[in-house]
Amino acid sequence: MQGIWTTERIREAEGRAFAVTPEGELMRRASFGLSVQIADFLEDHTGSVSGRRVVLLVGSGDNGGDALWAGAFLRRRGVAVTAILLNPAKAHAKGLQALKRAGGRAVPAADGPQWIAKADVVVDGIVGISASGSLRPDAARLVELVEAPIVAVDLPSGVDPDTGAVDGPAVQAAKTVTFGALKPVHALAPVHCGEVVLVDIGLELSDPDLRRLDIVDVAAAWPVPGPDDDKYSQGVVGIAAGSATYPGAAVLAAGSAVRATSGLVRYAGHAADVVRGQWPEIIATGTVADAGRVQAWSVGPGIGTGSEGRDVLRYVLGQGVPVCADADATTIIAKNPDVLDARDPDTPLVLTPHAGEYERLMGHKPGPDRVTAAREAAKKYDAVVLLKGHCTVIAAPDGRVAINTPRGAWLATAGSGDVLSGLVGALLAAGLDPWLAAAAAANVHSLAGAIAAQNAPTSASGLVHAIPEAIRSIRSLTS
């Protein structure tokens, strides 16, 4: 798993590292690594390093200091470097001196536009982990003029380091070079960060605040049959979804479970005939009470929010097995919290709200801090909460949080959530820890989206069919 640390934790670690390293050493490591990454970027995008023009946007703190020192290193490789100082009186003095000594130029912001126009690459050293709010107007005016690709120092300026939120002008980088450890912005604002490269500067950090699953974790967690397995032993999932009028949700959620694991999938609901027709391997019945034994239920898509849906939800919550409650099930819970009385508190529950369902569950919107929002809901409902969106946040009641950074936005298609609920249910039935089940499901869901899309719009049915390919590619990269 990749660890991600808040800026508060990074600062604490930097404080410890400062105490045991010579003055300036951490910045030297950071800026040297940065210069190597900028040179690589120049090579990749222009075919050469020497003779290219790099413009540094330099703010008033150490982030600007990193940019200035990196500029000095790049001078040694024959790069023409111009620093635009947003606040000349506060520019990092030693970095500025080093750049000038190496033959670099420093100009005030007023002279910036002409240099920006000629740049091959622009380096964003405006603000780093001490950032607050979006870009200030003087910086925003310069950033607006940039047409060359931007390499961001530590993080793209204007994006909140701890939440990834953007509420005004912000840098959109092609590449972000960060130091010591990943920060939340790198997982939560992929569009602004571009490619993220981590440079080791020797920070020592314990338990991360957030995590991101590696494909190794997903491959290790994904259930595959062993020699002693049969169709029951791998965990049977029950899908309670869809209706006679809207059978599509049932077909998608049940099909997703079929494609995700090898065991048995049961379906219960009014769309039994349609589901059977689409997926002959499913055992389909009309009601949850007739469904037979399952090791987990995935309930909600298309069941409606009336009394029948309520009864279905109450029934599955009372079965003593893990439940993934999605779509209409989250709305029912929001409107009738007493349905949760049917749940044995020891049985895992996964809730999968999008922003609108979150608002119903919590009485307020998730807001810009989606990690805190998911954590609060996980506490309130004593459940794993998978908060949907471009980035998906998965919070457990014990405080663990995983982020799924998407592979494009292909999942923004009708019925895509139904597919996810089938995946989560299948993994719960296989006995995965519910937080890991939700995080692994989100990971494979987004990979299936990218595979199904192949750079052109796809559909939820396309996602279902791409699930095996997604799992195959994850397993093949690790075995």
Ligand X SMILES: NC(=O)C1=CN([C@@H]2O[C@H](COP(=O)(O)OP(=O)(O)OC[C@H]3O[C@@H](n4cnc5c(N)ncnc54)[C@H](O)[C@@H]3O)[C@@H](O)[C@H]2O)[C@@H](O)CC1
Ligand Y SMILES: Nc1ncnc2c1ncn2[C@@H]1O[C@H](COP(=O)(O)OP(=O)(O)O)[C@@H](O)[C@H]1O
Which member of 31, 392, 405, 458 binds ligand Y (CB under 6 A)?
392
The rounded distance, in Å, linking the Cα atoms of 239 and 261 is 14
Q: Mark out the alpha helices in 52-211 (DSSP H runs).
A: 62-75, 93-101, 112-117, 137-145, 184-188, 190-193
136 is a contact residue toward ligand Y (CB under 6 A): no
Question: Was 326 annotated as part of a binding site?
Answer: no
Q: How far is the CB of 249 from ligand Y (least distance, A)?
A: 8
Dihedral of CA 105/108/110/116: which sign? positive
Give 308-311's long-range contacts (Cβ < 8 A, gap of 24+): 310/336, 310/339
392 binds, among ligand Y, ligand X, K ion, none (CB under 5 to 8 A by kind): ligand Y
Cβ proximity of 71 and 81 under 8 Å? yes
130 binds, among ligand X, ligand Y, K ion, none (CB under 5 to 8 A by kind): ligand X
66 binds, among ligand Y, ligand X, K ion, none (CB under 5 to 8 A by kind): ligand X
455 is a contact residue toward ligand X (CB under 6 A): no
First to last CA, the chain: 17
Pick from 454, 436, 413, 455: which is nearest to 211 by CA?
Answer: 436
411 binds, among K ion, ligand X, ligand Y, none (CB under 5 to 8 A by kind): ligand Y
Question: Was 138 annotated as part of a binding site?
Answer: no
Q: How far is the CB of 126 from K ion (least distance, A)?
A: 5
Return the structure tokens found at 204. Answer: 């020592």
The rounded distance, in Å, linking the Cα atoms of 373 and 422 is 24
Which member of 2, 4, 9, 14 binds ligand X (CB under 6 A)?
14
Compute the half-sphere exposure of residue 48: CA atoms within 13 Å on the CB side of its CA.
Answer: 7
- What radius of gyration, in Å, describes the C-alpha atoms of the chain? 26
Cβ proximity of 263 and 429 under 8 Å? yes
The rounded distance, in Å, linking the Cα atoms of 173 and 124 is 8
124 binds, among K ion, ligand X, ligand Y, none (CB under 5 to 8 A by kind): K ion
Determine phi and psi for 158, rounding to 5 degrees.
100, -15
368 is a contact residue toward ligand Y (CB under 6 A): no
Cβ proximity of 268 and 239 under 8 Å? yes
- Say which residue the tokens 């869809």 belong to: 242
Residues 316-335 that bind ligand Y (CB under 6 A): 327
56 is a contact residue toward ligand X (CB under 6 A): no
The rounded distance, in Å, linking the Cα atoms of 205 and 13 is 6
369 binds, among ligand Y, K ion, ligand X, none (CB under 5 to 8 A by kind): none
Q: How far is the CB of 115 from K ion (least distance, A)?
A: 18
30 is a contact residue toward ligand X (CB under 6 A): yes
Count, residues near ligand Y per rule CB under 6 A: 17
Q: How far is the CB of 125 from K ion (least distance, A)?
A: 6
The rounded distance, in Å, linking the Cα atoms of 178 and 153 is 6
What DSSP element (H or E) covers 394? Answer: strand 392-395
Tell the burial category of 374 from Cβ atoms under 10 Å away from its Cβ (0-12, 13-18, 19+). Answer: buried
199 is a contact residue toward K ion (CB under 5 A): no
Question: Was 417 annotated as part of a binding site?
Answer: yes
Pick from 105, 107, 67, 70: which is nearest to 85 by CA?
Answer: 107
String marking each residue 209-228 x if it binds ligand Y according to CB under 6 A:
--------------------
Q: How far is the CB of 127 from ligand X (least distance, A)?
A: 4
Angle at 26 between CA 212 and CA 31, to 5 degrees: 80
30 binds, among ligand X, K ion, ligand Y, none (CB under 5 to 8 A by kind): ligand X
Between 1 and 203, CB nearer to ligand X = 203
418 is a contact residue toward ligand Y (CB under 6 A): yes
136 binds, among K ion, ligand X, ligand Y, none (CB under 5 to 8 A by kind): ligand X
Task: Kindly give the interhelix angle for 25-46 and 62-75, rounded to the nearest 10 degrees.
Answer: 60
Q: How far is the CB of 293 from ligand Y (least distance, A)?
A: 28
String marking each residue 78-107 x if it binds ligand Y according to CB under 6 A:
------------------------------
> Applying CB under 6 A, which part among 61-69, 265-273, 294-302, 371-379 lies near ligand X?
61-69
Residue numbers belonging to the annotated binding site for (6S)-NADPHX: 62-66, 128-134, 154, 249, 302, 354, 418
Chain residues in the site for ligand Y (CB under 6 A)? 327, 354, 388-390, 392, 406, 409, 411-412, 414-418, 420, 445
Interface positions with ligand X (CB under 6 A): 14, 26-27, 30, 59-64, 66, 126-133, 135-136, 139, 153-154, 179, 201
